[in-house]
């Protein structure tokens, strides 16, 4: 493991303190921040307005390399999704997905190497948990996406490998760094944190005073089915999760998105749509329906289009805004875990449809 500290782990205020501790003026931190996040240099020597002796001192203590991109997979075309496999300083690898679209570009970042939560349809959960990512490593994913895109992503979503609210402090720090208006400057409303339903994290996030979007992986309208698909539901059941979401929406004034993967004959009937509408009635919510990515180990199949259309109609009749999301990137192994799994020699792992 590289013993140097990672410069991208620092907020702008912390970088300023580092400069002051090394008897440099405060404006030096602004210069370095600009080199890191506006010009996005990858070598200390490129920071031309920083004195050479100070650059040397920084280079001895601080690493400028959160991750190296070793592989990218993608379809062709200006709006094609691309998946980046990044190697971290200790040799672990993690994925980020870049999703360009007309007028916007989204990067989907990972928050952990692996995941503890073992959702049935997810490669990350099956592969087990290795470690949390540092804030700077997540910032590094955004920087890698910016290099791939040739521009700063307009949107950042924490929907990659891992459960963001299980790595709360590092994720929130990365959010603040990515959001900093002097650097990458991704607006809070363009940042989404997606969770499988970690209630203490949702309640904590409500108190942060941030305008970030919250997305909940729901996938079932009742406890029995949700516990089967997502074991985390046994710890945080719907009777506790929904009030936590309602309180979050009330406190922040933000709409919550519920992700719901449609699985044929499992969770896609009209009765289940009605149950979902009843469940979400107390929450300021919208529902994002996702076609299942077919995977061998899970064995589920995507819903028929007619079932999906009926499901949406039931929700909309109940006054809940619902959309059927195109599974963009499925053709490039963009479902969580697959690229990493194939590098580890397992090309058959199930895909995560969302976090």
Cβ of residue 157: shortest distance to ligand SF4, in angstroms? Answer: 12
Q: Verify whether residue 336 is a known catalytic residue.
A: yes
Q: Does 192 bind ligand SF4 (CB under 6 A)?
A: no
Contact call for residues 216 and 258 (beta carbons, < 8 A): yes
What beta strand segments (E) does the chain contain?
A: 5-6, 62-63, 67-74, 82-88, 93-101, 104-108, 112-114, 129-132, 155-158, 191-195, 213-217, 256-262, 285-291, 321-324
- DSSP for 208-225 reads S----EEEEE---SSHHH
Known catalytic residue: 122?
A: no
Active-site entry in 115, 122, 245, 336: 336
Candidate list 93, 95, 196, 259, residue with the active-site label: 95
Contact 269, 299 (CB under 8 A): no
Q: Per-residue contact track with ligand SF4, 263 to 302, x per CB under 6 A?
A: ----------------------------------------
CB of 282 to ligand SF4, least distance (A): 24
Residues 71-130 touching ligand SF4, rule: CB under 6 A, are 115, 117-119, 122, 124-125
Residue 318 in 3-state DSSP?
Answer: coil
Pick from 28, 6, 5: nearest CA to 17: 28
Q: Nearest residue by C-beta to ligand SF4?
A: 125
325 binds ligand SF4 per the rule CB under 6 A: no
Other beta carbons within 10 angstroms of residue 305's beta carbon come to 11
Region 196-255 residues binding ligand SF4, contact defined as CB under 6 A = 196, 217
Q: How far is the CB of 163 from ligand SF4 (least distance, A)?
A: 4
**62 vs 117, which CB is nearer to ligand SF4?**
117
Tell me which residues touch ligand SF4 (CB under 6 A). Answer: 115, 117-119, 122, 124-125, 161-163, 196, 217, 336, 352, 355
């Amino acid at each position: 493991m590289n013993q140097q500290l990672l410069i991208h782990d620092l907020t702008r205020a912390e970088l300023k303190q580092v400069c002051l501790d090394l008897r440099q003026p405060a404006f030096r931190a602004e210069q370095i921040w600009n080199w890191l996040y506006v010009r996005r240099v990858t070598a200390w020597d490129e920071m031309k307005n920083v004195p050479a002796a100070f650059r040397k001192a920084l280079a001895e203590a601080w690493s400028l390399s959160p991750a190296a991109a070793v592989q990218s997979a993608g379809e062709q075309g200006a709006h094609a999704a691309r998946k980046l496999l990044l190697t971290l300083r200790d040799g672990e690898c993690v994925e980020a997905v870049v999703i360009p679209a007309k007028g916007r570009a989204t990067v989907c970042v990972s928050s952990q190497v692996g995941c503890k939560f073992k959702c049935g349809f997810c490669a990350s959960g099956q592969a087990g948990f290795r470690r949390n990512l540092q804030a700077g490593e997540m910032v590094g994913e955004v920087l890698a996406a910016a290099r791939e895109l040739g521009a700063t992503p307009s949107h950042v979503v924490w929907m990659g490998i891992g459960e963001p609210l299980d790595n709360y402090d590092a994720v929130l720090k990365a959010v603040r760094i990515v959001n900093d208006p002097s650097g990458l400057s991704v607006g809070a409303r363009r940042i989404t944190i997606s969770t499988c339903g970690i209630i203490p994290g949702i309640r904590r996030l409500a108190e942060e005073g941030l305008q970030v979007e919250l997305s909940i992986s729901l996938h079932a309208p009742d406890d029995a089915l949700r516990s089967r698909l997502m074991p985390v539901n046994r710890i945080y059941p719907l009777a506790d999760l929904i009030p936590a979401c309602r309180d979050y929406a009330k406190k922040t004034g933000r709409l919550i998105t519920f992700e719901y993967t449609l699985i044929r004959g499992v969770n896609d009937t009209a009765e289940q749509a009605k149950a979902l509408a009843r469940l979400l009635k107390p929450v300021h919510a919208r529902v994002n329906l996702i076609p299942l990515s077919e995977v061998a180990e899970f064995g589920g199949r995507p819903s028929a289009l007619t079932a999906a259309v009926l499901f949406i109609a039931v929700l909309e009749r109940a006054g809940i805004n619902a959309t059927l999301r195109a599974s963009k990137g499925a053709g490039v192994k963009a479902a969580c875990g697959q690229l990493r799994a194939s590098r580890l020699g397992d090309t058959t792992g199930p895909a995560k449809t969302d976090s």
